[in-house]
């Protein structure tokens, strides 16, 4: 019978040392410490861009629906404190904060609940709405600008605008801040 001795030494060590674990935790905390604020800033930027892009889509829908039905379509903006909304409607007096502005059972609307920290200012020649005619999709006499501002308390961090021309054409521009690679206003 043969007897074999097993030695427990350096050749059979498995796992990490305490020093290796601490170095890994320090590096991980540095990476996360730098990454979290960048992610929060990016989320704010995406809310501002999302509001502008959804407004662009809402205006495009209103124009195409006016051309499709040969009837005028309005996009109305309503504000009450920090709450705001925009909706496509058949007339200019629909209050999208308190009323259903749907057309044939279809509601096209955006509101502030989807964009916390973003405020709106709609400035059109005809007031707080724009109108696309059903013949050519023009916004003549109803052209203007919708400005979305990213607010941090009372400070404006950035502003993106959606501009409606008299011909009914839409474009984006940045009034302040660096958001979405839009051209300057």
What the chain holds in terms of domains, given with CATH numbers, is 18-176 (3.55.40.10)
Q: What is the per-residue pLDDT for 12?
A: 56
pTM for the structure as a whole: 0.78
**Cα separations (Å) of 92 from 35, 45, 68, 83, 179?**
46, 31, 19, 19, 31
Is the model's pLDDT at 10 over the cut of 60? no
Report residue 14's pLDDT band, with 50, 70 and 90 as the boundaries: confident
Neighbours of 66 (CB within 10 A): 24
* Residues facing 147 on adjacent strands: 121, 161
CA angle 73, 63, 77 (to 5 degrees): 55
What's the pLDDT at 67? 95
Per the rule left: phi > 0, alpha: psi between -120 and 50, beta: everything else, 119 is: beta
Check whether 85 has a pLDDT greater than 90.
yes
pLDDT one-digit tens code per residue, 26-82:
888 888 777 777 777 777 888 889 999 999 999 999 999 999 999 999 999 999 888
Predicted confidence at residue 145, as pLDDT, reads 93
Q: In sequence order, what DSSP letters do the residues of 70-133 get, joined into one string?
A: TS-EEEEEEEETTEEEEEEESSTT--TTTS---BTTB--EEEGGGSTTEEEEEEETTBSEEEE-
Q: What is the pLDDT of residue 15?
A: 80
Pairwise CA distance, residues 144 & 79, whole Å: 17
């Amino acid at each position: 019978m043969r007897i074999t001795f097993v030695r427990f030494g350096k050749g059979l060590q498995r796992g990490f040392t305490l020093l290796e674990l601490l170095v890994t935790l320090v590096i991980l905390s540095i990476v996360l410490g730098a990454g979290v604020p960048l992610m929060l800033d990016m989320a704010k930027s995406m809310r501002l861009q999302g509001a502008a892009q959804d407004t662009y889509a809402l205006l495009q829908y209103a124009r195409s629906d006016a051309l499709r039905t040969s009837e005028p379509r309005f996009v109305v903006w309503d504000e009450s404190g920090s709450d705001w909304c925009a909706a496509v409607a058949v007339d200019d007096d629909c209050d999208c904060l308190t009323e259903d502005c749907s057309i044939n059972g279809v509601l096209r609307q955006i509101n502030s609940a989807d964009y916390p920290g973003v405020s709106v200012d709609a400035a059109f020649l005809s007031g707080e709405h724009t109108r696309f005619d059903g013949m050519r999709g023009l916004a003549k006499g109803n052209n203007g600008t919708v400005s979305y501002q990213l607010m941090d308390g009372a400070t404006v961090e950035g502003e993106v605008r959606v501009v409606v021309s008299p011909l009914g054409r839409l474009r984006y521009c940045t009034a302040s801040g660096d958001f979405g690679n839009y051209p300057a206003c």
